[in-house]
Chain A
Amino acid sequence: MAKIIAGIGTSHTPAIGAAVDNGKTGEPYWTPVFQGYEPSKKWMAETKPDVAIVVYNDHVNAFDFKIIPTFGLGCAAEFPIADEGWGARPVPAVQGYPELAAHMVQSLVLDEFDMTIVNEMQLDHGLTVPLTLLYGQPKAWPVRVIPLAVNVVQYPAPTGNRCFQLGKAIKRAVESWDEDLRVVIFGTGGMSHQIQGPRAGLINKQFDTAFLDGLTSDPERLAHIPPLEYLRDAGAEAIELVMWLIMRGALGSRVREVHRFYHVPASSTAVGHIILEVA
């Protein structure tokens, strides 16, 4: 049986990817960020999951405005890297797991989560930066990836509770796949940040700390944070944090925090990171 063994919450700030791609990780600005992920890379190298479900949002790269899926599950065998406007990141293409993704679509739809099936999709920094942070710069990613793209670009994003419930359904979908696989799930984006308008640069450490604490102590509370609270208190782009709740929902009731990191800033963003193992 396939089993979800751990969840990883992490920001996916594009500037972090650019720092790696341009050899700037040793600069004083960036050193603290990458130091914070050293234990995570070690954890990942020891854990060696077979599959990673990566919950992320596309930033107007795979999806223009012709079609905007609220939940899009990537079912391709391979996903190319997008040119977001400055050339594609020099990272390997991402290998999918079409058989498991197709099973997940079937299981989720019959479980009343109406996924959009995505058979071709270019991946942007929302997915590749988390892989870089956890795996470094390999020639090929040592894991098969199932991308789950969530609309957080056009308001409204799905609610925190909808995301949390979807996570629970993903756990049921994975556990009904009859192959011994060790699966991890990433929830990406956030934490507090705003990258638009005169209020750009907003950071709310108190909000972020409470969110990180709540992932173990009271995820139900987090699931009921209304959209307005994210926008108003943690910045217009902090709504990305609902994607962490999909990750948390997929882990079941009991989790153990094995690593946490928080740092301001990376560009305009509070970098937050947590690793939760299923207890």
Chain B
Amino acid sequence: MSKKPEEYEDIPGTWVFDAERARKGYHLNAFFYSLMSAANRAEFLADERKYLEKFPMTEAQRDAVIKRAWNTLLELGGVSYAVVKLAFTDKKSYQHMASKMAGVTESEYVNMMLAGGRSPDGWRSKSEKQG
């Protein structure tokens, strides 16, 4: 038994954080949550691999953390509000993380936003995106 595909899975370039992703990402998100204390941030940065061993996540999740593979972290069950704590730990901003996810430089991203942001046209469904 499994459920039918959700309509929101047809939105391109987006991972909706639902119950299934939350299940897969539980320990990954617990790691991000731990970065809310300065002591933990310092301990993590001193030896990332060792710190990550404390959380029973998958090796693929650990690798994505170390590589700062932001979209992979979403795909593997991270939720952006938690993932961003890793960017903050690196002294980077939300905007920095969003630009990496969008695959552009931070200044290109800022300029896109200053020009009014990304239009939803062409981004509402996977078929619209390809067509």
Number of B residues, CB within 8 Å of A: 55
- Asked whether B117 lies within 8 Å of A265 as measured between CB atoms, the reply is yes
**Which label, helix, strand, loop or mixed, suits the secondary structure of the A interface?**
loop
Q: List 27 A-B contacts (CB under 8 A).
A: A15-B93, A15-B94, A59-B81, A60-B29, A65-B29, A65-B33, A83-B37, A83-B38, A84-B85, A153-B79, A153-B81, A155-B18, A195-B80, A196-B15, A196-B74, A196-B98, A197-B13, A197-B102, A199-B14, A200-B13, A200-B101, A201-B109, A201-B118, A203-B117, A231-B14, A268-B113, A268-B117
Interface flags for B114-131 (1: CB within 8 Å of A; 0: not) read 101111100111000000
Q: Which residues does chain B contribute within 8 Å of A267, judged by CB atoms?
A: 93-95, 98, 113
- Asked whether B14 lies within 8 Å of A196 as measured between CB atoms, the reply is yes
- Asked whether B32 lies within 8 Å of A60 as measured between CB atoms, the reply is yes
Shortest Cβ distance from residue B39 to the other chain A in the assembled complex, whole angstroms: 11
Known: A60-B82, A84-B85, A196-B101. A268 touches B74 (CB 8 A): no
Measured in the bound complex, the distance between the Cα atoms of B98 and A236 in whole Å is: 13
Measured in the bound complex, the distance between the Cα atoms of B99 and A265 in whole Å is: 14
Measured in the bound complex, the distance between the Cα atoms of B125 and A235 in whole Å is: 12
Q: Which residues does chain A contribute within 8 Å of B117, judged by CB atoms?
A: 192, 201-203, 264-265, 268, 270
Tell yes or no: A23 within 8 A of B by CB.
Answer: no
Tell yes or no: B56 within 8 A of A by CB.
Answer: no
Known: A64-B29, A203-B116, A203-B118. A197 touches B15 (CB 8 A): yes
Closest to A207 in B: B120
Interface flags for A252-270 (1: CB within 8 Å of B; 0: not) read 0000000000001101101
- Asked whether A236 lies within 8 Å of B16 as measured between CB atoms, the reply is yes
Interface size class of A (residues with CB under 8 A): 35 or more
Name B residues whose Cβ lies closer than 8 Å to a Cβ of A: 7-8, 11-19, 22, 26, 29-30, 32-33, 35-38, 41, 71, 74, 79-85, 88-89, 91, 93-95, 97-99, 101-103, 109, 112-114, 116-120, 123-125
- Asked whether B30 lies within 8 Å of A64 as measured between CB atoms, the reply is yes
Q: Which residues does chain A contribute within 8 Å of B81, judged by CB atoms?
A: 59-60, 153
Tell yes or no: A198 within 8 A of B by CB.
Answer: yes
Which of A196, A204, A227, A228 interacts with B80 by CB under 8 Å? A196
Closest to A82 in B: B36
Q: Which residues does chain A contribute within 8 Å of B29, judged by CB atoms?
A: 60, 64-65
